Structure 1
Amino acid sequence: MFFVSEDHLILEVLVRVGSAFACGALIGVERQWRGRSAGLRTNTLVCVGAALFVLLSSLTPDDASPSRVAAQVVSGVGFLGAGVIIKEGGSLRGINTAATLWGSAAVGSLCGAGMYIPAAAGVIAIGVGNALLRPVARVVEPKLPPDRTAEEPVDYEFTAICHDGEEAHVRALVVQAMAAEAFSLNGLHSEDIEGTGRVSVVARLTSPGRDDRVFENAVSRLSLERGVTSVRWRVLPHQPVGP
């Protein structure tokens, strides 16, 4: 327990929560300035929330120790951090923001435990990491050789042949399968195969980089559909879209 009287208790709680608020706001200002999804308010609330949980354990020492509560705070913030990570094609965005939230929770836990100097050091370290390490990372990032480029767009043609009555359903399945990925649909058309009672549904798409896995999965999915007699895909020469 950290108090000897009710007045001291109230003052100590105010100091700890106030320091958590200030530390979270300092961390959040940089995130807000850079336009990140978790900015000033989110980092402040995470920091204050972590401090309150640790304070709760200090006020009820018979139920749980502050270190055990802090471990649970880390797990809870992990779920929150996962919400700010966005998948874009083969890359992820928001990992740095999620790590900052994790750091805010650690700073808040330190404030809740009354460890103000480590909390201040944490704020400085997080701020320096976010503000000053960005240009350093760009300098040390490996450069591609002159004869190589980063992933270039790839054009695909996806064809499904089905019975006349299944045309609308197959078109919808093709669009649905590709919409879940980072593909641009350049065209979708159907052609009757004369004298067969079947229709060829052809989709042309562009991917930010080569990803054959998606098409293999689509082939497996559509091959199970009733009325689909053939499914295939191929890579086309990339045709840049003009201005």
Structure 2
Amino acid sequence: MTRHAYSFVRTFPAEAPRDLCVDRHYLLCASAGALRLEAQGQAWLLPPARAALIEAGRTIRVSIPQPVTTASVLFDTGFTAVPPQPLTVFDLSPLARALVAECGAWGPGDEPLPAYGEALFAALAAVTWRLAGEPSPVVVPAGRSPELRRALHLTEEHLAGPVRFEDVAAQVGLVPRSLARRFEEETGMTWRAVLRRMRVLRAIEELAAGDRPVTAIAYRVGYGSLSAFNAAFRELTGRTPTEYRTSFRP
């Protein structure tokens, strides 16, 4: 008899994108570094103190831009309810973090969980399923058409410096008006709004990676002033960059 739920911690080097699909509901938490997750035409960043809840049998694309340490918890489909969405990224509460740490005592195995372990995993599922009802806004569209995916890739490559929409359109072989229409149809956002989100996502990666000053990060992601960077960051996350970094290290 396999366990209804189990946990494990692993460290991964930087890796190219790959597909991931498991037969259990999957709670994935980054404790150091950051992951990128992609599914259903959208992409999420998973820095420390955040978690992703993935429905069993759902394929997601995972990329690791820098070395990362993760804590994973897998739940048998008969042990918990179906997650509220196929993939949800959300903030971990202090209680959820404590439960993830406590559940780490039970890894994969054939022996059934003791009553205490069953209670802990059930409590973790109840808490994280509820948290998943309030997903993180730190998400960007991944695009469906080859042209838009190429435009998104080109935009991301030039976040640190000046990037012009007209140049991106030319490189993907579309006139600006046609590319703007693609952004509206496939993402529901303008190119400039996507650029702003990409810059905030890159900043979150930088904040998670080490202790680089916030001002230096602002310039590295293409902002000419700290005030403009703070305003854009707060608009998307509801916090200042410093507050967001502090949430990684409770």
Range of TM-score over shorter length: under 0.3
TM-score, normalised by the number of residues in structure 2: 0.24
| Structure of greater relative contact order (alpha carbons < 8 Å, 6+ residues apart) | 2
Instruction: Looking at secondary structure, tell me which structure has more helix per residue.
Output: 1
Instruction: Looking at secondary structure, tell me which structure has more strand per residue.
Output: 2
TM-score, normalised by the number of residues in structure 1: 0.25
